[in-house]
Amino acid sequence: MLGKGESESISYALKTNSILLSNDKKAGEFAEDLGVNVLDIVSFLLLCRDIGILGANDIEHVINMLEKHDYMGFSQEQKRLLMEE
């Protein structure tokens, strides 16, 4: 069962034909089954880096904020990949 936040996010993505940004694997799979395009946080940050929206310092700041305020964990491999220039 999905939580209220995930359900509302998926509903919004469906209504607006938007991409869902989520690290919740169950929610992502459910959304994809409904036809919603889904990106996880690491993929989103990589995309932002690759198209020049965020630099290494920006990504490091986002990682620190997510770890501190959203209690999201990043593996050393994810951090290394994200910090590559």
Domain range for residue 69?
41-83
pTM listed for this prediction: 0.82
Token duo for residue 11: 């509903």
CB 60 within 8 A of CB 84: no
Query: Quick one: 66 and 50 in the same domain?
Result: yes
To which residue do tokens 């491999």 refer?
A: 77
Question: What is the tens place of the pLDDT at every residue in 15-36?
Answer: 999 999 999 999 999 999 999 9
pLDDT at 25: 92
Domain count for the chain: 2
Query: Quick one: 31 and 51 in the same domain?
Result: no
pLDDT grade for 85, boundaries at 50, 70 and 90: confident
Name the 3-class secondary structure at 48. helix
